[in-house]
A and B are shown apart, each in its own frame.
Chain A
Amino acid sequence: MPTPLRIPRINNNDDTVRLTSILVQPGDAVRAGQSLAEIETDKATFDVEAENEAYVLSILHQPGETVEVGSVLFWLGAAPDEAVPHTETAAAETATAATGGTVAEPTLKASILLADYDLRADQVPSSGPRLTAANVESFVRQRGLQLVKQRTAQAEEPPAMLPSASGTHMPLTPEERGMLRTVVWQRDVAVPGYVEIQYDPAPWEAQATAYQKREKLLLSPLLSFMAWRLVRLAAENRQWNATITGADKYVYNSVNLGFTVQSGSTLYLAVVQEADQMTLPAFLDRLGLLQRAAVGNRLKPFEMSGATISFSSMARWQASRHIPVLPPNTAIIAAHAATRDGIATLGATYDHRILSGFDAISILRGMIAPEESD
């Protein structure tokens, strides 16, 4: 089936670009990553590249034209003699008609659904300026599409093997379902890595103790201080505060700090929304309230969702290191642990699709000692 290759958006403010050259002809075989055309704006020149191996079926614009972002530039096919849609303009603009000629940017939930169904944003019509999850769900329903993962599972997964020992089936509690979703996300979606670094915790402990005494706090702010440091690092390095959706990197607009709190047998991830926009005292206050709510099993749903980075500690159980599971759609979770002989270990599980090992170590090195501004 022919697929359109559209004019990409280079700058958010540019709805048109200048087509400066076409590098192929109809009938040419192209490989993934091959430059097919050159386009330019006032600020940059950009190559339009083939996403997959294909044949060029038709070219819809000529060098020198000013073309709209999102409009079809090439029709590509698996064979050189595939029929191009007879109403090229209508077919090309189907998915973008609602947005006046540009591909509507998908919301995060829509991006995840697109990936689940192996769709691109330009294939799905939007009902407004953004492509929503409802748009994708409607498109999928109308065409009876199946989840890619479900198709894969049906084709490849062997029948479930039941335990040989006798037992009783019991439904999962909401907390157990939440934990299962988290670990399955790490297993099926993320590419987890782990790295750790040893450090002297004395400077952090001294700063936390001094602050606690000065402010007459009942609780030590040590872990909150280290979590705050992580927030500042993520705010200063936005590329770390991101996840992957489909084939794109999704950089979050704010830093939402997830902080693990154990309440009885339940592990909560309490989330401080927009932590990067808070002052330190406001952050400490908010995190304190969330921790209290978690201990009292009173967290609201929005207080447990939307984490972009996370912090976990098992120091209270004298764990000298632990390897936490990545909360869904986060790039890193820092792992604080107990001190042994004056030395502590700070680790992190990170998503290798977003962060390199060097990135993860850089984050940890930024967290192991307070700065004067903390």
Chain B
Amino acid sequence: MNPASANDVKKAIRDRIAEIAKTLGNNARSLKDDDVIPEASLLDSAGIMELIMWYEAHWDLSIPQQDLTIENFGTVDAMAAYLRQAGK
């Protein structure tokens, strides 16, 4: 993945987080790429699940349940890295 598309990936993830957070009455504009998403109080568990479902559909991935860890999906950076490892 080249740097430009890596930035595109992160932007897409941040935008989606902002959309979901808005439905919960939260403003996610200040979320940084290395902020831990579950600790940022922007998305609840159901919101994070929506984010994962979107992530799978957007990049045509099927994420095994055991891969749903803080390490792989806890930050915007981690989610972009997981995509790289998956060859997307």
A binding-site residues for B, Cβ under 8 Å:
212, 216-220, 222-223, 261-262, 285, 288-289, 291-292, 295-296, 315-318
The winner among A262, A289, A296, A315 for most chain B CB atoms within 10 A is A296
> Interface code B40-76, partner A: CB below 8 Å = 1, 0 otherwise?
0000111111101100110000000100111111100
* Chain B neighbourhood of A261, CB < 8 A: 46
- Are B68 and A288 in contact, with the CB atoms below 8 A? yes
Instruction: Return the chain B residue nearest A284 by Cβ.
Output: B65
Looking at chain A's contact residues, the main secondary structure is helix
Please tell me if the beta carbons of A316 and B44 are within 8 angstroms of each other in the complex. yes
Bound-state Cα–Cα, A318 to B41, Å: 13
Distance in Å: Cβ of A49 to nearest Cβ of chain B: 52
Which of the residues A222, A289, A296 comes within 8 Å of B53, measured between beta carbons? A296
**Residue from A217, A223, A296 in contact with B68 in the complex, judged by beta carbons closer than 8 Å:** A217
Complex contact A262–B69 (CB within 8 A): no
Determine whether the beta carbon of B70 is less than 8 Å from that of A216.
yes
* Bound complex: CA A220 to CA B38 (Å): 8
Q: Which residue of B lies closest to A317 (CB)?
A: B24
**What residues of B have a CB within 8 angstroms of the CB of A289 in the complex?**
65
Option from B38, B46, B65, B72 in Cβ contact (under 8 Å) with A262? B46
Q: Would you call A291 and B49 a contact (CB within 8 A)?
A: yes
With a cutoff of 8 Å between Cβ atoms, the chain A residues found around residue B48 in the complex are 218-219
Kindly name the residue among A216, A218, A220, A261 whose own CB sees the greatest number of chain B CB atoms within 10 A: A218
Q: Can you show 6 pairs from A to B with CB atoms below 8 A apart? A: A212-B38, A289-B65, A291-B49, A295-B53, A315-B44, A316-B46
Q: Is the CB of A218 within 8 A of B24?
A: no
Bound: A284/B72 CA distance, A: 19
**Once the chains bind, are A218 and B73 in contact (CB under 8 Å)?**
yes
The reply to whether B53 and A216 contact each other, CB–CB distance below 8 Å, is no
How far is the CB of A209 from the nearest CB of chain B, in Å? 10
- The reply to whether B47 and A217 form a contact with Cβ atoms under 8 Å apart is no
Q: Is B70 a contact partner of A218 (Cβ separation < 8 A)?
A: yes
> How far apart are A319's CB and chain B's nearest CB, in angstroms?
13
**CA gap between A251 and B14 in the complex, in Å:** 49
Cα distance A313–B81 in the bound complex, in angstroms: 33
- Taking a contact as CB atoms under 8 Å apart, the answer to whether B53 and A316 are in contact is no
Find A292's partner among B44, B49, B73 (CB 8 Å cutoff).
Answer: B49
> Which residues of chain A have C-beta atoms less than 8 A from B71's C-beta?
216
Contacting residue for B50 out of A218, A220, A295, A315, CB 8 A: A295
Q: Is the CB of B65 within 8 A of A219?
A: no
Report B-chain residues with C-beta under 8 Å of the C-beta of A318.
25
* Contact status of A216 and B69, CB under 8 A, knowing A292-B53, A295-B53, A316-B47: yes
Nearest chain B residue, comparing its CB with the CB of A215: B69
Chain A residues contacting B25 (CB-CB under 8 Å) are: 318
